[in-house]
């Protein structure tokens, strides 16, 4: 078993401070020590040690040791150090800092009873039900430091770290379809990118991701591409870019890239936001890559808020509670103070929390603004409304009120990926998986407009293929976003939304009509019909058009408006090679290998790495270079022969 890592809880700066003179090294004092069980004297790993009312903290290692590095501290200063771990009573020690370093050891007393339920308010516990003989003063000691905490059943305090209950939907790869049998392909756009960061988490941890965790369209869409934005004179919120190239994994085939791009909006120009942070503080969120990371991520978002924006915070565990009423974004200290005081514990009543969050959002509704619930969780709902279908129905009903749902997934071991993806889909929002502070910054700062502000609703894409040019086709990815042909013109059919600055990429692999139909290239062909023959082709079929891309969308502020149609034709010719297209194909090939797709041909991780290296382009944020490192790490795991 690995020793728990020491995790520093990062704090987002609220505003830059220009330097008037050369920087002077900040004074540093180290507080260190060990934490043991008061009864057995055994070292306790995973104890959170932090400064009272501070945001800096670490976890003890396998030997129970910790080390806190304090900047801007002074010798003689009195501070309070807190040690807490689920299953033990909290201990707080007031100390006087010595020069250079101070040793502080802790002995924690096991908590031998079960706390059944607590109702949470901003001031702490308003009511407590206790099973067993423990007095309320033990909980009072926990609440005395200002933490907002929900108790957990003792049976759930200790979990086997190797126990895994993560859930992923399994979707087989899209197969080739004969154009004569089905000339149109229809799907809902998908701006989610959670799969890439989740796959990266698995590979970084030295593990192979489950096949269901690899959604190729989300891997491709994780990266920014240099698509042209819609012209201001077009009146359209979306612009279309297309390319045609030979398929790198099967050179006799071709690939068509369809790129959608919405207009980018500066943060200062975004409409006012009415946000409700819905934070899972259940026992499953205790580990450092869950609630502590949630808190650090939300600090980054709070730093971007303006006076016209409003934030409320709802937490849920055994019960749900409002811990921060709707507050102006200008009052950052108040918002951050509540975030800093959140702690984990208890079972999970996710449905109850979602209801309360939507109620709060409705009471603070900003007409014409961005009204949104931001759910931060590992998705492990197990009390109250917990079935996926019930939660999806709940979210679908509430979206009609004009409040969207963004889902941020955290953690490992019990991540409910499939559930969170469905909730975001039905909530007219997006789903992101955050495994690091860098990813939080990407989602909540760099891509804030796309994450929070919708510019086109119910975006559907339909491609019609020219049967004289294309024998068969298959859509790479989007297996869970496919729609029926008739759904394209059905405005009652829900589809994906696009935010400000969002791009969406779809790649089709096609078998040209000129390719011989023997051997493997006959895939997708069908037996001739007994009672009818294919219809006659039109004049357009005898042109050089390869296919036509049709897009439908609705204006974001008018839920009753009819959808609008855009069309774009693609000629049957190879387009000049671009680094953007080459990189997208490298990512698609990587996803096919990870999924052990039968369509990957003889493509290897070496081929993926070579193509990605050739297609790095400018790469200002080093996302593409990091992908090359990820491919190399995946190759070392030896997963190609899975």
Of 232, 315, 272, which Cα lies nearest the Cα of 453? 272
- Judged by DSSP in three states, 548 sits in strand
- Asked if residue 241 and residue 272 are part of one domain, the reply reads no
- Judged by DSSP in three states, 596 sits in coil
- Asked if residue 511 and residue 440 are part of one domain, the reply reads no
Distance between CA atoms of residues 619 and 616, nearest Å: 6
Instruction: Classify residue 131: in a domain, yes or no.
Output: no
Compute the mean pLDDT over every residue in the chain, rounded to the nearest whole number. 82
Neighbours of 100 (CB within 10 A): 10
Instruction: Classify residue 462: in a domain, yes or no.
Output: yes
pLDDT of 526 reads 63
| Rounded (10°) CA dihedral 541, 542, 544, 547 | 10
> What's the pLDDT band for 366 if we cut at 50, 70, 90?
very high
What average pLDDT does range 91-119 have in this prediction? 75
What average pLDDT does range 118-134 have in this prediction? 36
Which residue among 67, 92, 110 closes a domain? 110
Which residue among 76, 110, 144 closes a domain? 110
Residue scoring higher pLDDT (288 or 626): 626
pLDDT of 134 reads 32
- Asked if residue 495 and residue 415 are part of one domain, the reply reads no
Residue 224 has pLDDT above 80, yes or no: yes
- Asked if residue 355 and residue 223 are part of one domain, the reply reads no
Of 298, 309, 426, which Cα lies nearest the Cα of 374? 298
Residue 548 has pLDDT above 90, yes or no: yes
Instruction: Classify residue 38: in a domain, yes or no.
Output: yes
pLDDT of 642 reads 47
Distance between CA atoms of residues 524 and 178, nearest Å: 5
- Asked if residue 276 and residue 259 are part of one domain, the reply reads no
> What's the pLDDT band for 158 if we cut at 50, 70, 90?
very low
| Rounded (10°) CA dihedral 358, 359, 363, 364 | -30
- Asked if residue 214 and residue 363 are part of one domain, the reply reads no
What lies within 8 Å, CB to CB, of 302 at 6+ separation is 12, 311, 329, 332, 335, 336, 339
Distance between CA atoms of residues 131 and 114, nearest Å: 5
- Domain of 377, CATH number, reads 3.40.50.410
Residue 604 has pLDDT above 70, yes or no: yes
What average pLDDT does range 119-143 have in this prediction? 34
Report phi then psi at 373, rounded to 5: -95, 130
Could you say which DSSP state residue 560 is in? T
pLDDT of 56 reads 55
Contact call for residues 548 and 570 (beta carbons, < 8 A): yes
- Asked if residue 417 and residue 271 are part of one domain, the reply reads yes
Distance between CA atoms of residues 335 and 326, nearest Å: 10
pLDDT of 536 reads 77
Instruction: Classify residue 216: in a domain, yes or no.
Output: yes
pLDDT of 333 reads 93
> What's the pLDDT band for 152 if we cut at 50, 70, 90?
very low
Which tens digits make up the pLDDT trace of 9-68?
Answer: 333 333 344 444 444 555 688 899 999 988 888 888 878 888 876 655 677 877 888 888
Give the containing element (helix H, strand E) for 15.
none
Residue whose pair of structure tokens reads 């979210």 in the numeric block: 395
Residue scoring higher pLDDT (56 or 290): 290
- Judged by DSSP in three states, 444 sits in helix
Could you say which DSSP state residue 520 is in? G
Of 364, 140, 142, 336, which Cα lies nearest the Cα of 274? 364
List the beta bridge partners of residue 490: none
Structural tokens at position 544: 């050089």
Instruction: Report the domain count for the chain.
Output: 3
Instruction: Classify residue 126: in a domain, yes or no.
Output: no
pLDDT of 111 reads 63
pLDDT of 509 reads 98
Which tens digits make up the pLDDT trace of 230-279?
Answer: 998 888 999 999 999 999 999 999 999 999 999 988 878 889 999 999 99
Distance between CA atoms of residues 435 and 412, nearest Å: 9
Structural tokens at position 16: 């830059």
Structural tokens at position 143: 């609440």
pLDDT of 461 reads 97
pLDDT of 168 reads 87
Instruction: Classify residue 642: in a domain, yes or no.
Output: no
- Asked if residue 57 and residue 185 are part of one domain, the reply reads no
List the beta bridge partners of residue 280: 316
- How large a percentage of the chain has pLDDT more than 70? 80
Residue 117 has pLDDT above 60, yes or no: no
List the beta bridge partners of residue 550: 462, 567
Of 382, 425, 420, 428, which Cα lies nearest the Cα of 402? 428
Which tens digits make up the pLDDT trace of 420-458?
Answer: 888 888 888 889 999 888 999 999 988 887 778 889 999
Q: What DSSP letter does each residue of 186-245 carry, written as one string?
A: EEE-----HHHHHHHHHHHTT-PPPGGG--HHHHHHTS---PPPPPTTT--SEEEEEEEE
Q: What is the 3-state secondary structure (H, E, C) of 107-128?
A: EECECCCEEEEEEEECCEEEEE
Residue 151 has pLDDT above 60, yes or no: no
What average pLDDT does range 499-523 have in this prediction? 80
Instruction: Classify residue 512: in a domain, yes or no.
Output: yes
Which tens digits make up the pLDDT trace of 82-104?
Answer: 988 766 788 899 999 998 889 99
Report phi then psi at 69, rounded to 5: -105, 115
pLDDT of 87 reads 67
What average pLDDT does range 363-389 have in this prediction? 80
Instruction: Classify residue 252: in a domain, yes or no.
Output: yes
pLDDT of 25 reads 52
Residue 72 has pLDDT above 70, yes or no: yes
Structural tokens at position 400: 């009609």
- Asked if residue 512 and residue 627 are part of one domain, the reply reads yes
Expressed as residue numbers, the domain containing 364 is 267-452
Could you say which DSSP state residue 359 is in? H
- Asked if residue 606 and residue 558 are part of one domain, the reply reads yes
List the beta bridge partners of residue 611: none
In the chain, DSSP finds a helix count (H) and a strand count (E) of: 13, 26
pLDDT of 422 reads 86
- Asked if residue 440 and residue 378 are part of one domain, the reply reads yes
Residue scoring higher pLDDT (623 or 316): 623
- Asked if residue 413 and residue 338 are part of one domain, the reply reads yes
What average pLDDT does range 538-546 have in this prediction? 91
Structural tokens at position 640: 């190609």
Distance between CA atoms of residues 240 and 575, nearest Å: 15
- Domain of 103, CATH number, reads 2.60.40.1120
Which residue among 90, 110, 130 closes a domain? 110
pLDDT of 472 reads 96
């Amino acid at each position: 078993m690995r020793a728990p890592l020491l995790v520093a809880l990062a704090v987002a700066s609220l505003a830059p401070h220009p330097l008037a003179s050369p920087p002077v090294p900040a004074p540093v004092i180290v507080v260190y020590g060990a934490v043991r069980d008061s009864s057995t004297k055994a070292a306790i790993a995973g104890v959170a040690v932090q400064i009272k009312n501070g945001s800096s903290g670490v976890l003890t290692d396998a030997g129970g040791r910790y080390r806190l590095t304090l900047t801007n501290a002074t010798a003689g200063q009195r501070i309070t150090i807190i040690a807490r771990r689920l299953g033990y009573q909290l201990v707080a020690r007031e100390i006087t800092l010595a020069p250079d370093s101070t040793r502080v050891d802790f002995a924690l007393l096991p908590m031998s009873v079960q706390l059944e339920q607590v109702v949470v308010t901003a001031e702490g516990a308003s009511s407590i039900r206790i099973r067993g003989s423990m007095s309320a003063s033990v909980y009072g000691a926990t609440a005395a430091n200002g933490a907002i905490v929900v108790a957990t059943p003792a049976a759930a305090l200790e979990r086997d770290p190797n126990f895994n209950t993560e859930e992923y939907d399994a979707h087989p790869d899209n197969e080739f379809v004969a154009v004569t049998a089905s000339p149109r392909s229809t799907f809902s756009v998908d701006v989610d990118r959670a799969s890439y960061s989740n796959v990266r988490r698995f590979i970084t941890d030295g593990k192979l991701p489950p096949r269901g965790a690899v959604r190729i369209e989300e891997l491709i869409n994780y990266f920014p591409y240099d698509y042209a934005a819609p012209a201001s004179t077009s009146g359209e919120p979306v612009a279309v870019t297309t390319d045609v190239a030979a398929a790198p994994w099967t050179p006799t085939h071709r690939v068509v890239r369809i790129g959608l791009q919405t207009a980018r909006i500066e943060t200062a120009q975004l409409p006012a936001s009415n946000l409700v942070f819905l934070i899972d503080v259940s026992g499953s969120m205790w580990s450092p890559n869950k609630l502590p990371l949630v808190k650090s991520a939300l600090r980054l978002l709070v730093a971007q808020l303006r006076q016209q924006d409003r934030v409320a915070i709802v937490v849920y565990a055994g019960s749900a509670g409002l811990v921060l009423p709707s507050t102006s974004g200008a009052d950052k200290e108040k918002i951050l103070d509540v975030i800093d005081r959140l702690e984990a514990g208890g079972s999970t009543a996710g449905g109850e929390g979602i209801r309360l969050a939507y109620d709060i959002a409705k009471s603070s509704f900003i007409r014409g603004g961005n009204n949104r619930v931001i759910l931060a969780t590992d998705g492990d709902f197990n009390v109250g409304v917990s079935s996926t279908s019930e939660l999806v129905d709940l979210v679908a009903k509430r979206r009609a009120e004009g409040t969207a749902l963004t889902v941020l997934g955290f953690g490992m071991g019990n991540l409910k990926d499939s559930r969170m993806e469905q909730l975001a889909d039905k909530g007219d929002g997006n789903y992101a998986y955050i495994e690091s502070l860098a990813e939080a910054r990407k989602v909540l700062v760099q891509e804030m407009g796309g994450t929070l502000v919708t510019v086109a609703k119910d975006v559907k894409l339909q491609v019609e293929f020219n049967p004289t040019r294309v024998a068969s086709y298959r859509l790479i990815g989007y297996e869970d976003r496919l729609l029926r042909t008739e759904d394209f013109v059905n405005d009652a059919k829900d589809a994906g939304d696009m935010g400000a600055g969002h791009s969406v990429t779809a790649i089709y692999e096609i078998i040209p009509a000129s390719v011989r139909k023997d051997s493997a290239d006959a895939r997708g062909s069908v037996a001739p019909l007994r009672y009818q023959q294919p219809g006659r082709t039109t004049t357009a079929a005898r042109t050089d058009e390869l296919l036509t891309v049709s897009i439908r969308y609705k204006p974001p502020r008018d839920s009753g408006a009819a959808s609008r149609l855009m069309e774009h034709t693609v000629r049957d010719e190879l387009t000049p090679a671009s680094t953007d297209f080459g990189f997208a194909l490298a990512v698609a090939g990587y996803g096919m290998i990870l999924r052990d797709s039968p369509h990957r041909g003889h493509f290897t991780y070496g081929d993926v790495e070579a193509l990605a290296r050739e297609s790095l382009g400018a790469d200002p944020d080093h996302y593409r270079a990091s992908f090359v490192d990820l491919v190399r790490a995946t190759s070392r795991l030896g997963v190609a022969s899975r």
